[in-house]
Amino acid sequence: MSERIELSGLNVAVELQHFIETQALPGTGVEPSAFWSGLADIVAKLGPKNAALLKKRDDLQAQIDAWHIERRGSEHKPAQYEQFLRDIGYLVQEGDAFQIDTANVDPEIAQTPGPQLVVPITNARFALNAVNARWGSLYDCFYGTDAMGTLPPAGGYDRGHGARVVARSRVFLDETFPIQGASHADVRRYYVHEGQLFLDDMPLAQPEKFVGYTGNAKAPDSVLLKNNGLHVQLIFDRAHAIGARDQAGLADVVMESALSVIMDLEDSVACVDAADKVEAYSNWLGLMKGDLTSTFMKGGTEITRVL
C-alpha cells in the first residue's frame, strides 16, 4: 500500500499529495491547505450520499442474484421477471415528457456534426493522437490510403501518386466550395478583397462559406472555409515541397475531423489506486496546459508526439 499522510482529516497517498502540491496547484493561486480543506468539505458532504447510493446498488443486485438462484434450472418467464424488477424498484414508471434547455454548451457538443473519440487518459500517446485528430491533412489521407483505389508505390514520395492526390483534392474543393464559372484545378491565385475570397478574380458560388484568412490578404498563408459547420483550411506555401509544384502554391488541405474526445478514466482503464490516478491526472494536466508529450520508438526511429 502507498505511504499515506493525513491532510484536513483525509487519508491521502503521499504520491497524490506530491502531484497536487508540486504540479497541479502551482500557478492556480490555490494554496495546498485551501485545496485539501475544500476537498475534505466535499467528501464530508457527498460521501454519505455516495455510500447510500452504493448500498442501494448492492441491495438491488443481491435481490436480483437471489431471484435467479432460486429459479436456477427453471424456464425464464420475462413478464414475471419484469414485475419482480418493478417490485424491488429496479425498474420505475416512465415519467411525463420533458425538455432540457441547457446553456453554455460548446458547439462541438450541441450543434456541429462530427466524430467523438474515446481514449484511455493513462495512455499519453493515444490521448495526443486523439486530440490532434481535430485537424487532419486531406493530402495525407488520400496519399497514404487506398481511398483513391490504390496504395502509393513502396519507397519514397511518388510524384505520380501525389499528383493524383492533388487532383482528387481539387475535386473535393469543387464539390464543397464551388467557384462561379471555374474549377479549383485551374485557379492560380487565392486572395481576399474587402472581406470576400476571390479565386483568379472569381468569387465562391457560396461566398458565406469563406470564414477568414491568415497572412497577407493579397497572398494569404492560409484560407479558412466552412461547410456544414466543419472547417477546411487551405495552406499556401511556395517554399514547401508540394506547394512549390502547385500553380496556386497550395501545399495542403487541412480538414476539421474529430471534434471532441472523451478522456476515459473508467471503462477502457481502471484508475483505482494512487499511482493510476496520478498518471491519469498528470496526463490531463498536460492536456490542459498544452505541454503533454509522448516519446516512443517506431521503425527504429524515436518519435515525440506533442499537441
What is the rounded CA–CA span in Å between residue 285 and residue 271?
Answer: 16
What is the rounded CA–CA span in Å between residue 54 and residue 21?
Answer: 31
Q: Tens digits of per-residue pLDDT, 153-164?
A: 888 899 999 999
Q: How many CA atoms lie within 13 A of 198 on its CB side?
A: 11
Q: Tens digits of per-residue pLDDT, 24-59?
A: 999 999 999 999 999 999 999 999 999 999 999 999
Is 221 within 8 Å of 215 (Cβ atoms)? yes
Length in residues, the chain: 307
Claim to verify: residue 41 and residue 58 sit in the same structural domain: yes
Claim to verify: residue 216 and residue 147 sit in the same structural domain: yes
Instruction: Give the residue carrying C-alpha cell 472523451.
Output: 262
Four-CA torsion 273, 275, 278, 279, nearest 10 degrees: -120
Claim to verify: residue 121 and residue 270 sit in the same structural domain: yes
For the chain, how far is it from start to end, CA to CA, in angstroms?
A: 35
Claim to verify: residue 177 and residue 278 sit in the same structural domain: no
pLDDT at 181 over 90: no
Count how many domains the chain has. Answer: 3
Query: Across the strands, what pairs with 242?
Result: none
Q: Tens digits of per-residue pLDDT, 261-290?
A: 999 998 888 888 999 999 999 999 999 999
Residue numbers of the domain that contains 266: 112-133+260-306
Is residue 140 in a domain?
yes
Claim to verify: residue 227 and residue 82 sit in the same structural domain: no
Claim to verify: residue 195 and residue 235 sit in the same structural domain: yes
C-alpha cell at 14: 503521499
Claim to verify: residue 128 and residue 139 sit in the same structural domain: no
Q: Tens digits of per-residue pLDDT, 120-153?
A: 999 999 999 999 999 999 999 999 999 999 999 8
